[in-house]
Protein backbone atom coordinates (compact mmCIF):
# COMPACT_ATOMS: atom_id res chain seq x y z
CA UNK A 1 0.00 0.00 0.00
CA UNK A 2 1.42 3.36 -0.98
CA UNK A 3 2.07 5.91 1.75
CA UNK A 4 -0.89 8.19 0.89
CA UNK A 5 -3.34 5.30 1.10
CA UNK A 6 -1.62 3.94 4.22
CA UNK A 7 -1.88 7.35 5.87
CA UNK A 8 -5.58 7.58 4.97
CA UNK A 9 -6.10 4.05 6.31
CA UNK A 10 -4.33 4.99 9.55
CA UNK A 11 -6.55 8.05 9.95
CA UNK A 12 -9.71 6.01 9.29
CA UNK A 13 -8.76 3.25 11.75
CA UNK A 14 -7.77 5.87 14.32
CA UNK A 15 -11.20 7.45 13.93
CA UNK A 16 -12.74 3.99 14.36
CA UNK A 17 -10.70 3.48 17.54
CA UNK A 18 -11.97 6.78 18.89
CA UNK A 19 -15.56 5.82 18.06
CA UNK A 20 -15.16 2.39 19.64
CA UNK A 21 -13.75 3.99 22.78
CA UNK A 22 -16.60 6.52 22.84
CA UNK A 23 -19.19 3.78 22.37
CA UNK A 24 -17.78 1.61 25.15
CA UNK A 25 -17.54 4.64 27.43
CA UNK A 26 -21.18 5.46 26.70
CA UNK A 27 -22.12 1.87 27.56
CA UNK A 28 -20.26 2.24 30.84
CA UNK A 29 -21.94 5.60 31.53
CA UNK A 30 -25.32 4.02 30.82
CA UNK A 31 -24.61 1.48 33.55
CA UNK A 32 -23.89 -1.54 31.37
CA UNK A 33 -22.17 -3.77 33.94
CA UNK A 34 -21.02 -0.84 36.12
CA UNK A 35 -20.35 2.88 35.95
CA UNK A 36 -17.34 2.44 38.24
CA UNK A 37 -15.00 0.53 35.91
CA UNK A 38 -14.35 0.36 32.20
CA UNK A 39 -14.44 -2.86 30.21
CA UNK A 40 -13.03 -1.13 27.12
CA UNK A 41 -9.78 -3.07 27.43
CA UNK A 42 -11.72 -6.26 26.58
CA UNK A 43 -12.85 -4.63 23.33
CA UNK A 44 -9.32 -3.70 22.32
CA UNK A 45 -7.95 -7.15 23.25
CA UNK A 46 -10.62 -8.73 21.06
CA UNK A 47 -10.04 -6.25 18.26
CA UNK A 48 -6.41 -7.41 18.10
CA UNK A 49 -7.52 -11.02 18.55
CA UNK A 50 -9.74 -10.75 15.49
CA UNK A 51 -6.57 -10.72 13.38
CA UNK A 52 -4.95 -13.53 15.36
CA UNK A 53 -8.01 -15.71 14.88
CA UNK A 54 -7.96 -15.44 11.08
CA UNK A 55 -9.27 -11.92 10.38
CA UNK A 56 -12.66 -13.28 9.33
CA UNK A 57 -16.09 -13.81 10.83
CA UNK A 58 -15.72 -17.60 11.04
CA UNK A 59 -12.55 -17.25 13.12
CA UNK A 60 -14.18 -14.60 15.31
CA UNK A 61 -17.23 -16.81 15.89
CA UNK A 62 -15.00 -19.77 16.76
CA UNK A 63 -13.05 -17.58 19.20
CA UNK A 64 -16.28 -16.23 20.69
CA UNK A 65 -17.42 -19.80 21.38
CA UNK A 66 -14.01 -20.47 22.93
CA UNK A 67 -14.48 -17.44 25.18
CA UNK A 68 -17.72 -18.98 26.44
CA UNK A 69 -15.90 -22.20 27.36
CA UNK A 70 -13.14 -20.14 29.01
CA UNK A 71 -15.66 -18.17 31.05
CA UNK A 72 -17.36 -21.36 32.21
CA UNK A 73 -13.97 -22.79 33.18
CA UNK A 74 -13.09 -19.63 35.10
CA UNK A 75 -16.39 -19.69 36.98
CA UNK A 76 -15.86 -23.35 37.86
CA UNK A 77 -12.37 -22.52 39.10
CA UNK A 78 -13.83 -19.91 41.43
CA UNK A 79 -16.43 -22.42 42.64
CA UNK A 80 -13.85 -25.17 43.17
CA UNK A 81 -11.54 -22.81 45.05
CA UNK A 82 -14.46 -21.96 47.34
CA UNK A 83 -15.20 -25.64 47.93
CA UNK A 84 -11.55 -26.49 48.56
CA UNK A 85 -11.08 -23.49 50.85
CA UNK A 86 -14.25 -24.47 52.71
CA UNK A 87 -12.72 -27.89 53.23
CA UNK A 88 -9.78 -26.22 54.97
CA UNK A 89 -7.23 -26.28 52.14
CA UNK A 90 -4.81 -23.36 51.94
CA UNK A 91 -6.14 -21.10 49.18
CA UNK A 92 -2.95 -19.94 47.46
CA UNK A 93 -0.87 -23.09 47.97
CA UNK A 94 -3.44 -25.84 47.36
CA UNK A 95 -6.99 -24.66 46.49
CA UNK A 96 -6.19 -22.41 43.51
CA UNK A 97 -3.52 -24.66 41.94
CA UNK A 98 -5.77 -27.72 42.37
CA UNK A 99 -8.77 -25.96 40.80
CA UNK A 100 -6.58 -24.78 37.91
CA UNK A 101 -5.14 -28.28 37.44
CA UNK A 102 -8.58 -29.87 37.27
CA UNK A 103 -10.15 -27.33 34.93
CA UNK A 104 -7.21 -27.03 32.53
CA UNK A 105 -7.55 -30.74 31.80
CA UNK A 106 -11.11 -30.14 30.62
CA UNK A 107 -10.15 -26.94 28.79
CA UNK A 108 -7.57 -28.85 26.76
CA UNK A 109 -9.94 -31.75 26.08
CA UNK A 110 -12.20 -29.24 24.31
CA UNK A 111 -9.81 -29.65 21.39
CA UNK A 112 -12.02 -32.61 20.47
CA UNK A 113 -15.32 -30.68 20.77
CA UNK A 114 -16.45 -29.25 17.42
CA UNK A 115 -17.04 -25.47 17.44
CA UNK A 116 -15.59 -25.12 20.96
CA UNK A 117 -12.09 -26.33 20.13
CA UNK A 118 -10.12 -23.08 19.92
CA UNK A 119 -7.78 -23.63 22.87
CA UNK A 120 -6.15 -20.19 22.57
CA UNK A 121 -9.58 -18.54 22.73
CA UNK A 122 -10.56 -20.69 25.71
CA UNK A 123 -7.50 -19.57 27.66
CA UNK A 124 -8.01 -15.97 26.55
CA UNK A 125 -11.64 -16.07 27.67
CA UNK A 126 -10.56 -17.47 31.04
CA UNK A 127 -7.84 -14.87 31.48
CA UNK A 128 -10.10 -11.94 30.59
CA UNK A 129 -12.72 -13.22 33.02
CA UNK A 130 -10.16 -13.41 35.81
CA UNK A 131 -9.05 -9.87 34.95
CA UNK A 132 -12.60 -8.61 35.12
CA UNK A 133 -13.35 -10.40 38.38
CA UNK A 134 -10.22 -8.83 39.87
CA UNK A 135 -11.74 -5.38 39.35
CA UNK A 136 -13.86 -4.90 42.49
CA UNK A 137 -16.55 -2.75 40.83
CA UNK A 138 -16.99 -5.44 38.17
CA UNK A 139 -16.51 -8.59 40.27
CA UNK A 140 -19.30 -7.67 42.70
CA UNK A 141 -21.79 -7.84 39.83
CA UNK A 142 -21.59 -11.64 39.82
CA UNK A 143 -20.52 -14.32 37.39
CA UNK A 144 -23.38 -14.05 34.88
CA UNK A 145 -23.22 -10.26 34.60
CA UNK A 146 -19.45 -10.33 34.20
CA UNK A 147 -19.72 -13.09 31.57
CA UNK A 148 -22.31 -11.01 29.68
CA UNK A 149 -20.03 -7.97 29.89
CA UNK A 150 -17.01 -9.88 28.61
CA UNK A 151 -18.95 -11.31 25.68
CA UNK A 152 -20.60 -7.97 24.81
CA UNK A 153 -17.32 -6.08 24.78
CA UNK A 154 -15.63 -8.96 22.92
CA UNK A 155 -18.32 -8.76 20.22
CA UNK A 156 -17.67 -5.03 19.87
CA UNK A 157 -13.96 -5.74 19.47
CA UNK A 158 -14.57 -8.39 16.83
CA UNK A 159 -16.89 -5.99 14.99
CA UNK A 160 -14.14 -3.35 15.06
CA UNK A 161 -11.73 -5.91 13.60
CA UNK A 162 -14.15 -6.71 10.81
CA UNK A 163 -14.66 -2.99 10.08
CA UNK A 164 -10.87 -2.49 10.05
CA UNK A 165 -10.55 -5.10 7.29
CA UNK A 166 -13.45 -3.55 5.37
CA UNK A 167 -11.78 -0.13 5.58
CA UNK A 168 -8.48 -1.53 4.35
CA UNK A 169 -10.09 -3.30 1.39
CA UNK A 170 -12.04 -0.17 0.44
CA UNK A 171 -8.92 1.99 0.59
CA UNK A 172 -6.81 -0.52 -1.32
CA UNK A 173 -9.47 -0.60 -4.04
CA UNK A 174 -9.74 3.20 -4.23
CA UNK A 175 -8.67 4.40 -7.61
CA UNK A 176 -8.45 0.91 -9.17
CA UNK A 177 -11.71 1.33 -11.06
CA UNK A 178 -10.64 4.79 -12.21
CA UNK A 179 -7.30 3.38 -13.35
CA UNK A 180 -8.98 0.45 -15.13
CA UNK A 181 -11.44 2.78 -16.90
CA UNK A 182 -8.63 4.96 -18.25
CA UNK A 183 -6.89 1.98 -19.88
Domain assignment of residue 139, given as a range: 3-175
82 part of a folded domain: yes
182 part of a folded domain: no
pTM of the model: 0.90
Overall number of domains in the chain = 1
pLDDT at 183 over 70: no
Q: How far lies 20's CA from each of 42, 44, 55, 107, in Å? A: 12, 9, 18, 31
Nearest CA among 103, 18, 27, 96 for reference residue 69: 103
135-181 per-position pLDDT tens digit: 999 999 999 999 999 999 999 999 999 999 999 999 999 977 655 55
Q: How confident is the model at residue 82 (pLDDT cuts 50, 70, 90)?
A: very high
pLDDT at 30 over 80: yes
181 part of a folded domain: no
183 part of a folded domain: no
End-to-end CA distance of the chain, in Å? Answer: 21
Nearest CA among 87, 168, 100 for reference residue 130: 100
d(CA 68, CA 147): 8
Residue 179's pLDDT is 52
Nearest CA among 144, 153, 99 for reference residue 124: 153
Amino acid sequence: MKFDKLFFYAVCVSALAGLVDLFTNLLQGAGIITTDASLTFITFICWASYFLFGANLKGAWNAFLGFIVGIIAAILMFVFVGIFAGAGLNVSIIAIPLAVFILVIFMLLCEKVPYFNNIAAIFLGTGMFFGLMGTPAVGVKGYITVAFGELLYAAIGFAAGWITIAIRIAIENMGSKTHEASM
